[in-house]
Amino acid sequence: MSAIDATTDSYSHHTLVRDDVPVEISTTTTERPTSPYRSRAWALTGAGAAIAYLAGSIAGGVADPVYDPAKSGDPRAIMAALAEGRTALAVFHGFTTLAALLLLVFGAGLARRLRASLPVGSILPSVASAGVMVTAAMQVVGSGLDTEFIEGVTRPDTFVAESTALYGHWIGTIPYVWVTAGASALALAWASLRHRGAPRWIGVVSLGLGGASVVAGISPLQYVAGMTAPLWMLVVGIGLAVGDRAFRHGNQPAAA
């Protein structure tokens, strides 16, 4: 056998593989798809955020002399009162910031929960999450001046007294802006009542408290949303943690 014949015979018994041609690999599997993760811890962060916000609001109200008729209009008296209430201001800052952090988790969890039970491509999970995230940002902004003023009021000779009045109004208003959480509540209400993506009672509660929060936010009574929206989050957070049995057991009705 010649060398050429030997080479030809060798090629005829070996499979040639080209490394410049993509090889299609089948991804078909007979295994059942994994069911969505059904943790409930994220829902409890919503209730925790509402409680932390309430604690921060109480502490801020105790330390804020701007609304005290005996001190209102007197910058020096306001500064002196803030200096005496530094501990309460620190508590306000801690709980308000904690509420912001918990809101981030709740917003992400709410979006995941709705995506698991709504039609693909629905914008409701994004709207629900965005509303909570903006509210978290308002808590951070509302407590953002705390370090400057908690320290500054102890140095009256180097601090402008009139600015303390602005600070008092700041902590008495900005953290109460929860209107976008009301929008989140309405998104959840629509997901529940229209698509059956959550328990019906949660939809009804979300419609009532969310609607009240949005109406308050649009009107000059916007700080009322700082009472109705946290109440919604407290009720819904606990409800989704302990009462969302159909979703956790995997037998929730298909979304319409």
Per-residue confidence (pLDDT) for residue 28, from 0 to 100: 44
Q: What is the pLDDT of residue 152?
A: 85
Q: What is the pLDDT of residues 88-100, one digit of tens each?
A: 999 999 999 999 9
Provide the pLDDT for residue 173. Answer: 94
Confidence of residue 65 (pLDDT cuts 50, 70, 90): very high
Mean pLDDT to the nearest integer, 243-250: 64
For residues 178 and 135, the answer to whether their CB atoms sit within 8 Å is: yes
Rounded to whole angstroms, the Cα distance separating 57 from 59 reads: 5
Please indicate, yes or no, if residue 15 is contained in any of the structural domains: no
pLDDT band at 11 (very low <50, low <70, confident <90, very high): very low
Mean per-residue pLDDT for 231-248? 86
Determine, yes or no, domain membership for 255. Answer: no
Mean pLDDT of the residues in the chain: 86
Within-domain flag for 236 = yes
The band of 19, judged by pLDDT with boundaries at 50, 70 and 90, is low
Split into its structural domains, the chain has a count of: 1
Q: Is position 254 within any domain?
A: no
Instruction: Look at residue 29 and tell me whether its pLDDT is greater than 50.
Output: no
Query: What pLDDT, on a 0 to 100 scale, did the predictor assign at position 228?
Result: 97
In a domain, 26, yes or no: no
User: What is the tens place of the pLDDT at every residue in 177-187?
Assistant: 999 999 999 99
Q: What pLDDT score was predicted for residue 24?
A: 52
Contacts of 67 (CB under 8 A, 6+ apart): 168, 172
Which pLDDT band, with edges at 50, 70 and 90, does 34 fall under?
Answer: very low
Q: Which domain holds residue 230?
A: 40-242
**Assigned token pair, 243:** 């009462």
Q: How much is the pLDDT for 156? A: 79
In a domain, 31, yes or no: no
Of the listed ranges 46-60, 159-173, 198-212, 226-240, the least confidently predicted one is 159-173
pLDDT digits (tens, 9 = 90+) for 105-117: 999 999 999 999 9
Instruction: Let me know if residue 1 belongs to a domain.
Output: no
Would you say residue 230 lies in a domain? yes
Say what the pLDDT of residue 254 is.
46
